[in-house]
Amino acid sequence: MRGNPEWRYRWMGRILALHDRHIGRCPCPRDAGGGNMRLRLLAPLATIIDRSDIAEVQAHDASGAFGIRSGHAPFLTRLPPSVLTLRTDHGLVLYAAMAGGLLRVDREGVLITSADAAVGSELAPLAARVAAAQQEKQHRQREGDAQERTLHAALLHHLLDSVSGERMGEA
């Protein structure tokens, strides 16, 4: 029966094209290694963390929360200022506060670049740091908007003065 979606999957050899997963079997990818992946969190002047015993990374972007495990499909996303949850294969939970950045998943693991980041085992101090960074960003945005309005008003006054000066010269 050609209209049945199950038939299409059987016809494809029981493999989904998205994320290279099998139908009707374990949801794990075929090429999942030993369960560990390498995670690198880089700031402009330092490597914040470089570990190869990471079992899972939890993060969120504009589309929502997501998790990454070994063998995840490659992708690239922009991260807002947030706190990432990192789980090692030994059960240790680490948190990484970052001031936004890019997250890339490929065969080598997870690479995260950020302007500023910190790693710790306590969530509260890192969450406070992210909240402070978001407030600072909003403050800079408001200051920039105010400066833009001031420059716009100065430009309008200058244009009006030059137009009225030309009209007075004609009279």
pLDDT digits (tens, 9 = 90+) for 33-60: 457 899 999 999 899 999 999 999 999 9
Radius of gyration of the chain (CA): 26
Q: How confident is the model at residue 94 (pLDDT cuts 50, 70, 90)?
A: very high
Residues 6+ away with beta carbon under 8 Å from 104: 74, 75, 76, 110, 111, 112
Higher pLDDT, 117 or 19: 117
User: What are the structural domains, with CATH classification, of the chain?
Assistant: 1-30 (no CATH), 34-171 (2.60.15.10)
Strands 109-114, 117-120: pairing is unpaired
Q: How confident is the model at residue 21 (pLDDT cuts 50, 70, 90)?
A: very low
Inform me whether the pLDDT recorded for 168 exceeds 70: no
Q: How confident is the model at residue 129 (pLDDT cuts 50, 70, 90)?
A: confident
